[in-house]
């Protein structure tokens, strides 16, 4: 992993500016896919300032049925409510993920039942696997010894990370009861203390770095 990391950083350092970004998924079903609007720009800015990577500082917004959806290998999905993929969206997402793409789904409290249902439709033969705190995603760039940060409390449940794999390759990360997106938002939105926001941002960097170097 360390050799791969060095090669990766040499590669991204040689790329032109704005070489990486995140595509937020505009899904069907009525959930607020657009929630936490300042979150991804803040994460991308933090990535630019604290790593050798070059990132475009604004998110892209796509529908899975867009003609160019497969050009965005790093997808982000969040919300509080219902997610429902159409058959075409389901086929497109499966194709993207099985051809090198990666999805980070961040539960913003309320999307858990529908997200689990829809991922079972996309991958009937795959199950979400809980990740232990010593999984490499928690130390891929920053060392987060306690695993997934807890930004906001909901129902007194611990934060937990789950993943779907194709062989040994992670294709989906699902962050549950963590509210990472809230931690990435402008400080004035939720009034979270800086250490909590920084832990969330560091976790976001780790997810990106792990996804691109695994």
Q: Which of 70-74, 99-103, 187-191, 203-207 has the lowest mean pLDDT?
A: 187-191
Give the strand order in the sheet containing 23-25.
60-62, 23-25, 74-79, 102-107, 169-176, 160-166, 129-130
Ordered domains of the chain (ranges, CATH): 2-213 (3.40.50.12140)
pLDDT recorded at residue 156: 78
Please, is 100 exposed, middle or buried when counting C-beta atoms within 10 Å of its C-beta (0-12, 13-18, 19+)? exposed
Residue 7 reports pLDDT greater than 50: no
Q: How confident is the model at residue 157 (pLDDT cuts 50, 70, 90)?
A: confident
Give the mean model confidence (pLDDT) for residues 155-178.
94
Residue 15 reports pLDDT greater than 80: no
**Over the stretch 185-195, which tens digit does the pLDDT of each residue have?**
988 887 889 89
Q: What is the pTM of this model?
A: 0.90
pLDDT recorded at residue 29: 87
């Amino acid at each position: 992993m360390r050799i791969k990391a060095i090669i990766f950083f040499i590669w991204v350092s040689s790329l032109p500016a704005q070489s990486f970004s995140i595509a937020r998924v505009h899904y069907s079903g009525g959930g607020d896919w657009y929630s936490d609007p300042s979150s991804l720009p803040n994460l991308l800015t933090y990535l630019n300032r604290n790593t050798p990577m070059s990132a475009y500082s604004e998110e892209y917004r796509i529908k899975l049925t867009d003609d160019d959806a497969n050009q965005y290998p790093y997808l982000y999905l969040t919300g509080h409510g219902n997610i429902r993929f159409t058959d075409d969206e389901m086929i497109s997402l499966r194709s993207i993920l099985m051809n090198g793409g990666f999805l980070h789904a961040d539960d913003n409290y309320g999307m858990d039942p529908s997200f689990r249902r829809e991922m079972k439709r996309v991958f009937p033969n795959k199950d979400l696997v809980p990740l232990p705190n010593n999984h490499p995603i928690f130390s891929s760039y920053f060392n987060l010894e306690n695993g997934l940060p807890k930004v906001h409390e909901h129902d007194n449940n611990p934060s937990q990370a789950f993943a779907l794999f194709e062989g040994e390759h992670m294709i989906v990360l699902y962050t549950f009861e963590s509210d990472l997106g809230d931690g990435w938002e402008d400080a004035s939105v939720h009034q979270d203390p800086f250490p909590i926001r920084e832990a969330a941002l560091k976790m976001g960097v780790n997810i990106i770095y792990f996804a691109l170097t695994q």
